[in-house]
Amino acid sequence: MLERLRQELSTLMLIPGLSGHEDRVRRHIAACLQVDGIDSRADRLGNLIATFDGDAEAPSVMVFAHMDQLGFIVRKIDDDGLIRVERMGGVPERALASQAVLCCVAEGKDVPGIIMNKAHHATTPDEKYQVVHAPDLMIDTGHGSKAAVQAVGIAIGTPIVYRPHVLPLAGTRVAGTSIDDRAGCTVLLELARKLAKRKSGPTVHLVWSVLEEFNLRGAVVAAQNLDPDIAIQIDLMLATDTPDMADRGDMRLGKGPGISLYSFHGRGTLNGVIPHPSAVRLMEKAAKRAKLNLQRSAQVGVLTDLSYVQLLGEGVVSIDVGFPMRHSHSSLEVCDLSDLAGLTTLLETALADVDKNFPLNRNGPD
Ligand SMILES: [Zn+2]
């Protein structure tokens, strides 16, 4: 499974798909599903949905991962052809200088550029340790004039992403762009193939969702429509096995998939997920049965669209499940393929365990 995961993740990482502009990613995933004879459909926002019908008496499950990535939107093109941008999503400003980017004009017509960085020889002692704020960033495509930039199709509103790239590291580690959350999309693809072959189980909707990095609400539209009893969200878990993160938890790269027991984001959105105890037990039992090490996360500062999905209808039994990842939202995120394989097995095992006796209420033991 590792080689296929490597192949598919790499392919998905190389397809640009800024929030609100996920269409190329969706087309690719739909085509992959079709190859395996799996039908899928898209809603008006662009969420891609594949449904595997199952036991009508068992609770239905929605498992989802977001296709979109963060980046920039062109705000203005200066007369000298330099491009000003707005950030889209949680772009880390201190990791931006000298980055290569891709202006997404149209498939086959994308235009490379660079985020400019003042010549070091002219940098004053004051400037040396300063981070340039996003509104002051300039992107150079080399065209030299506004007219030339416009002539290649770049306009106000054009999406820009980090130049998509994959950098295989030692062993099963992979670095590159938008591992958040193309790794989740890859796991869902692998899961789809397993669900297509299963003999029994609950109805499962796999959703490759949109707009997570923008407003965390794309998956809400799919959930509203599908009305699942259980929602499982697949995304990164903050790896804390580096010196700069050591105090924040115990989530290690290569040590298996993880579940989140607590997430909260207080800046503006005031939301998070405290998972339903039945969902936690489901994952713990599945990990034990599949002989997987299950890691645990509790973090303030992270938020996924599950926060909003859990609040629909009479409440959705929800849990965030994921893979450890380093350097989130930079152009060189890092994950370990073995964790993606473990995550796939965990989900397959857990889903097989959802039957009509699954406790959706809160009357079970603590
Ligand atoms: Zn994500």
Tens of pLDDT, residue by residue over 228-249, are: 999 999 999 999 999 999 999 9
In tens, the pLDDT along 26-83 reads 999 999 999 999 999 999 999 999 999 999 999 999 999 999 999 999 999 999 999 9
* pLDDT value for 269: 72
Ligand 1 centroid vs 355 CA: distance in angstroms?
29
Ligand 1 centroid vs 147 CA: distance in angstroms?
36
- Cα(57)–Cα(219) distance, rounded to whole angstroms? 25
Point out the catalytic residue in the list 8, 22, 190, 212: 212
Residue 213 catalytic?
Answer: no
DSSP string, 263-331: EEETTTT-EEE---HHHHHHHHHHHHHTT---EEEEEES---THHHHTTSTT--EEEEEEEEEBSTTSS
Confidence of residue 1 (pLDDT cuts 50, 70, 90): confident
Ligand 1 centroid vs 235 CA: distance in angstroms?
5
Whether residue 365 has pLDDT greater than 70: no
Q: Where are the beta strands (DSSP E) in 94-203?
A: 100-103, 111-115, 139-140, 159-162, 166-168, 173-176
Residue indicated by tokens 């009893």: 229
Whether residue 366 has pLDDT greater than 80: no
* pLDDT value for 364: 66
Can you name the residues that pair with 204 across neighbouring β-strands?
52, 61
Ligand 1 centroid vs 212 CA: distance in angstroms?
7
Residue indicated by tokens 């869902």: 188
Ligand 1 centroid vs 239 CA: distance in angstroms?
14
Ligand 1 centroid vs 179 CA: distance in angstroms?
8
Whether residue 268 has pLDDT greater than 90: no
In tens, the pLDDT along 153-180 reads 999 999 999 999 999 999 999 999 999 9
Contact present, 219 and 38 (Cβ < 8 Å) = no
HSE-up of residue 97 (Cα within 13 Å, Cβ side): 12
* pLDDT value for 190: 97
Could you give the percent of the chain with pLDDT greater than 70?
A: 99
